[in-house]
Each structure stands twice: as C-alpha cells, then as structure tokens.
Structure 1
Amino acid sequence: MKEGVKVEVSSRAGRGPGAGRENLAGWLFLAPVVLILGLFLLLPILMALWVSLTSWNGQGSPFTGKVPFVGLDNYTRLFTQDDLARQDFMTSIRNNMYYVAIVVPVQTALALGLALIVNGRMLKGKTFFRSAFFFPSVTSSVAISVVFLFIFANSGAVGSLLGLFGIKGPEWFSDSRGLLHLLLGGLGLVDPQHPPAALTGGGPFGLSWWEWLAGPSVAMCTIIMLVIWTTSGTFMLMFLAALQDIPVTLEEASLLDGAGRWQRFRYVTLPLLRPTLFLVLTLGLISTWQVFDQVYVMSQGNPAKTTLTPAYLSYRTAFRNFDYGSGTAISFVLFLLIVVLTLIQRRVIRDRSVDGGRAARVQRSS
C-alpha cells in the first residue's frame, strides 16, 4: 500500500506547475528548429503540392488565382491518358526499375564484402584500403561522371583497350538496344537490329512488351557501373562499424561449437547486421530512385530515352518544357513510390527477422 501511495503521489507531482514549466521550456528550445523546418521544408512542400494541381507555365505567380486549377489531371495523365507524357513517364519508370534492380543488390553485396575484407584481423594496411575504398564516395559525382564519359567514349580508353584484342568496342552512348536484345542477337535468336515482331504489340501503360523486357541499354549499364563504384565505399563504412560492434565472444563461442567460416557468417554475423542491412538497403533504394546528376552529365536521357529517369524527367518537364504542374506531379508520384517501396522493404526484412528468430529458437530447443 505504501508503494502505491508513493507512486500516486509522484504521478500527481509530475502533473504539477513544475511539469508545466518544464514542458514550456522544452517547447521553447524546440521552437527554432520547428520554425526553420516549417519555413524551409514543410511550406515549400505544400507550395509544390499546390503547383502540381495547376497548369502553371512559370510566368507570374501560381498563388495569385490567375493560374488555371486542374486538380488531379496532372497525375491522371501519367497513368491513363495515352500520349507522349505517359509514354515518357513509363519509360523513365522502366529505366529506373532496371537501375534499382541492379544497383541496390550489387552495391550492398560489394559494400558488405569490402567491409568483411577490411575488418579482417590478418589484413595489413587497413587504413590505406579503407581510404582507397571510400575515396570515390567523397569525390564530386559530376567530376567522376565527366571522367567516365571520356573513358567510355567511342575513342576512349575502354574502346582503345578492346581494340588491342581485336574487339570493336560498342558505341556506349548511342546504342539504344537493351542487354537482352544484344545477348539474344549475339546468339542468333533474334534480329540484332530489330525487336521480335511478336513482342512489339501493346503492353502495359503504353509500352510494348519488348520495351519492358529488353533490359537496360549499354549507356544505362555504364551509369550503373559508375554509381556502384562511387557508392559502395559509404555503405562499406556502415557495415564496418556494425561489424566492429559484434562481440568477439560470440565468434569465439561459435568456433568452440565447431562452426565454419560460412556458418559463422550466416548464423552469427548476418543476423546481427540486419539493422544495418535495412539502413543500407533503404538508403540505396531512395538514392537510386532519385538518380539525376549522372544522367544529366553523361546522357541527358539519351539514347532514345533509355537513360531517362523520373527525377530527370521531372526536371526536364518543368524547367525545359515549362510545364511546372506536370513536372511537380512527377516528383510527388516518385516520392509516394519511394515511400511505398520502403515500407514494403521494411515489412519483408522484419518478417524474415521474425522467422529467423523462431527458427533459431527451435534449433536451440532441439
């Protein structure tokens, strides 16, 4: 009873005038941050949302009431109206899907592999290798894109190197055929220059089935190699920090139990890296759907729009075609797409974590 009285008295004391002054002081300390975020983050987002509901062409102010209000027409056009705007948007989604499907898994696996190598106890010169692997991540993406553009030019270093072996280098930034098209054409299964007639019919969202299935172009693959090389170093540091937080006693216990290297990695290291893995996959997913600067510098959506991405399409629609309503609508659709994919990814990783924990408990009990 005495303990209950003490708890009740302390809870009443927490609701006294002292608690109110503490709450007021807390809000006063938070007020500058809330004001700055509201003024420079929330307000521009709301303004951009309003622009996406209008047909503003960049002249005058979109908030004066003189700009026609079109509602959700800018959004519905991207999915329902059969015109060039929907075709370009779906083409950009297709290109970005190839980009995400290759970049995210490869850069995650490469970053984890580099972290395991650098974290090895027997490796000498760890500081040098950490700096070497991380250096591309701190270099300007524009500068690296320009260097790659020269390297993969028709008369660049890669083409000259292939020429030494009697191989004619591909025209990296002028060949709009997908990798699947090039592979099947090299095997003689399809016409190397033309798509199969059976797959040129109407597919989903205004694109043919062949356009969805032909794979990324050579130019897009070049951008993919560039991005993987420049981003793996940052994610390597995240994995490295997580690896160094794993208690040594767990590895020693697994060694005493007779676990091999692969078993230790699968049943000890990888489960403990799950939070970091989710962070890396989430950051990779967000950054790959927002790719812009490499496309702007290296290809500007060419050849034949095979490197066009939603972020670059939003920029081109707004600042080149002066259709700010449609350009802003594309950016909000991209934002919703990123949020949905992130939630799905979180759900999948959480479910696997729960299933893995149950399996481990069953194995220990048996």
Structure 2
Amino acid sequence: MASQPAPIVSTSTQEMQGKPRRSRRDTSGSRRGETLAAYLFLTPYLVILLVFWIFVTFYGVGLSLFKLDIGFTAPEFVGLRNYSIIFQQLAFINDSDFWVSMINIIKFVIVVVIGQTALALVLALLLQALIPRLRGIFRTIFYLPAVTSSVAVSLIFLWFYTPQGVINYLLSLLHIPGPHWLEDPSFALPAIMLLNIWTTAATFMLYFLAALQDLPLDLYEAARVDGAGRFHLFTDITIPLLRPAIFLVVALGTIATFQMFDQAKFMTDGGPLRATLSPVLEIYNTAFRDNHFGLAAAMSVLLFIIIFIVALIQRRLIDVNN
C-alpha cells in the first residue's frame, strides 16, 4: 500500500499555532507583575492596618483581662472579672450607665438609620431629576455637612437648640412654644438624632446617586408604554433595583451610629439624666474619668462583638437579597 504524503504545514500555520502559547506566557507574566505591583502599593496600608487595627484589637482584648488604673497600682490579672461586673449590672439595668447607654444607642440606631437612609434616597432622586449642570452644584451644597468637622457642626447646632435659638424662633412664628431641646431628657436624644441624620445623609446620597445612574432605562420605557405612572415606576422598578444599595447604606449607617460619640460629648456630655449617654462615651468616661481602663476595655470588646454580630446579620441579608 502506497504511503500517503505527510500533511504540509505552512510556516504561517506554525506561527499561528505558536502565538497563543507565547501570548499566554506573556499574559501570565504580565498578570504576575500587576499582582506584585498591587501588593507593593497595598503594603503601606496593610502595615497600618496591622499596627493600628489588628494589634490594637488584640491589645484591647488583653487589657480587658486586667484591673488597671494607670498611675496608682500595678496591673493585676483578673481574668473575666471585668466582664462579670458588666453582666451583673443587668440585674439593676437602670442603675448601670453602660446598659442605659446601650438602650439609648439602640433607639438612636433605629431612628437615625431609617432617617438618614430615607433622606439620602430623597436627595439622590432630586439630584437625578436635575439637569447635569445643576446636579453638580446641588451635590456640592448637599455634601457640605458631611465634610464639615463634627465638632463645628455640633457647636452650630448648640446655638440652634438654645431656648432663644433659630428653631424655637421659627416655632414661635407658628405660635408653638419651643422646648428646651438639650435640657429636657425627652428632647435631648431626638435633637442629636436630627443632627446626625442631617450630617450623614449626604454621604449615603452619593451611594444612591451612583446606583440610580446605573439603572437600565429600557425598563422604565417599557413600563411607561404599559401605562405605569411615576409611583409604580418608583415602587416596582426603582426600589427593587436599589435594594443592594439600600442594604449597603443600612449596614454602613448601623456600624457608624453604634459608635456615636462627638455629638453626645460636646453637646450634652451624656445628659440630661443620661438621656444621651452612648456606649463609646461611657467607655471614655470609665477609662479617663474613673481611671478603670480594664473595665473600659471589656466594655469596648462587648460593643465590638455586638456591632460585629449586627454586621454579620446584615451581610447575610444582603447576600440573600442579591
């Protein structure tokens, strides 16, 4: 039987077959270089994270196991006694500053997170409806409270909330007697809630504005063809598509509001009658006023655990929604 001639492979074919291999090698080397460069750029951040977050966290946990009053006695290892003291106070919760502060912060978180999320969404919708030229101007105006020092904003609102301040003056024009905002336990915490909502909504407005700009316009056009009005467009399309952004804003807002300190410290110092006492302020007072650093560290660890659990639950809800 005559042997068949071997297939002739042209030089161009060989070059074409060889190119992908060289391309893959080049791509692999390029990716390794990019990865190495990325890690080099991240190194300063990772070092700072290691020193100022991870190390400090473990140091705080270790400190909570000691009885420590700086400048008076040597540190004494007490194990879990500081935690035992905190949990024993649950039996007399109204007499415990820490647990009263936890009740205050739960109220604060619920109201502020709902308020700032709603206000941020409204502001984002208003900006989205404006022409691009005006959108940039008003975005800057709305964002000013977020970039202003919280202490400066607190001082401004201190003047607003005085009996002769702007708010009570506006109420007097409507023949409504203005309350003593920061001196009445019934109004002090709501007053700080309003301040916090006003200063934080602008930051979350940017999250919603970015999400709104990514919404597919063809869905709205199809819904309008089917006769849907603005209300149904908002409830049936906008809100469902914004759900991931809403959950993100709620999660970030919850973590931030649990750590409220500046406003309570500079406006009321936790008063009147502990109405505005927050956990972070109580931790500060326990450490630097009462000189019980070990007990303050134990409070910090408990607050961290609570925030961590809440964040995990919210993360789980976000994953389920997605």
TM-score range, shorter chain: 0.7 to 0.9
Please give the alpha-carbon distance, in whole angstroms, between the structure 2 residues aligned to 1:129 and 1:28.
38
Which residue is equivalent to 2:158? 149
Report the AA paired with residue 119 of structure 2: L
1:122 to partner: Cα distance: 6.4
Shift of 1:263: 2.3
Which whole-Å CA distance do the structure 2 matches of 1:60 and 1:244 have between them? 60
Task: Please state how far the C-alpha of 1:161 moved relative to its aligned partner.
Answer: 3.7
Q: Does the C-alpha gap of structure 1 residues 174 and 117 become closer, same or farther in structure 2, counting only changes over 3 Å?
A: same
State percent identity of aligned pairs.
42
Q: 1:283 aligns to what?
A: 252
Match of 1:363 in 2: none
Equivalent AA in structure 2 for residue 220 of structure 1: L
Residue 73 of structure 1 aligns with which residue?
Answer: 81
Counterpart of 1:315, as a letter, is: Y
Q: Distance in 1 between matches of 2:39 and 2:143?
A: 41
Distance 1:265 1:343 in 2: 29
Deviation for aligned residue 1:339: 1.2
- Equivalent position amino acid for 1:53 in 2: L
Going from structure 1 to structure 2, the CA distance change for 1:306 and 1:246 (only over 3 Å counts) comes to: same
Q: 1:241 aligns with which of 188, 206, 210?
A: 210
**Distance change >3 Å, CA 249–CA 34, structure 1 → 2:** same
Distance 2:221 2:104 in 1: 46
Q: Answer yes or no: is the 8 Å Cα contact 1:92–1:313 preserved in 2.
A: yes
- Where do 1:1-366 residues align within 5 Å? 29=40, 33-59=45-71, 66-81=74-89, 82=91, 87-120=96-129, 125-176=134-185, 217-351=186-320, 353=321
TM-score, normalised with respect to structure 1: 0.72
Distance 2:162 2:94 in 1: 31
Cα distance in 2 for partners of 1:120, 1:28 equals: 41
Contact 1:151 1:157 in 2 (8 A): yes
Q: Deviations over 1:217-247 (max 9, x none)?
A: 3011110111111111111111001100112
Structure 2: state its 5+ residue gaps: 1-20
**Displacement after TM superposition at 1:90 (Å):** 1.2
Query: CA offset at residue 106 of structure 1?
Result: 1.1
Partner of 2:13: none
Distance 2:84 2:37 in 1: 44
- C-alpha distance 142-32 of structure 1, shift in aligned 2 (>3 A): closer
Q: 2-side partners of 1:59 and 1:115: how far apart? A: 52
Question: Measured at CA, do residues 327 and 162 of structure 1 come closer, stay the same or move farther in structure 2, by a change above 3 Å?
Answer: same
Offset of 1:86 from its aligned partner? 6.5
Cα distance change of structure 1 residues 109 and 69 upon mapping to structure 2, 3 Å threshold = same
> Given that residues 248 and 318 in structure 2 are in contact (C-alpha distance below 8 angstroms), is that contact kept between their aligned partners in structure 1?
no
Report deviation, 1:254. 2.2
Q: Which has the larger radius of gyration?
A: 2
Contact 2:244 2:318 in 1 (8 A): no
Offset of residue 48 of structure 1: 1.3
Question: What letter is aligned with 1:224?
Answer: M
Distance in 2 of aligned mates of 1:27 and 1:245: 28
Q: d(CA) in 2 for partners of 1:84 and 1:114?
A: 40
Normalised by the length of structure 2, the TM-score is: 0.81
- Offset at residue 173 of structure 1 (A): 1.9
What's the offset of the Cα at 1:144? Answer: 0.9
Change (3 A) 1:36 1:100: closer
Task: Extract unaligned runs of 5+ from structure 1.
Answer: 1-9, 177-216, 355-366
Q: Which range is displaced more, 330-339 or 255-264?
A: 255-264
Q: Is the 8 A contact 2:93 2:100 kept in 1?
A: no
Which amino acid is 1:49 matched to?
Answer: V
Q: Secondary structure at the match of 2:181?
A: coil
State the Cα distance separating 1:121 from its structure 2 match: 5.2
Partner Cα distance (1:224, 1:169) in 2: 17
8 Å CA contact retained: 1:77, 1:86:
no
Greater shift, 163-172 or 133-142, is seen at 163-172
Give, as a single letter, the amino acid of the residue that structure 2 aligns with 1:38.
Answer: L
Q: Could you say which structure has the higher helix fraction?
A: 2
CA RMSD of aligned residues (A): 3.0
Letter in 1 for 2:192: I
Q: Is the 8 A contact 1:78 1:86 kept in 2?
A: no
2 CA distance for matches of 1:123 and 1:343?
Answer: 38
CA–CA separation in structure 1 for the residues paired with 2:193 and 2:285: 21
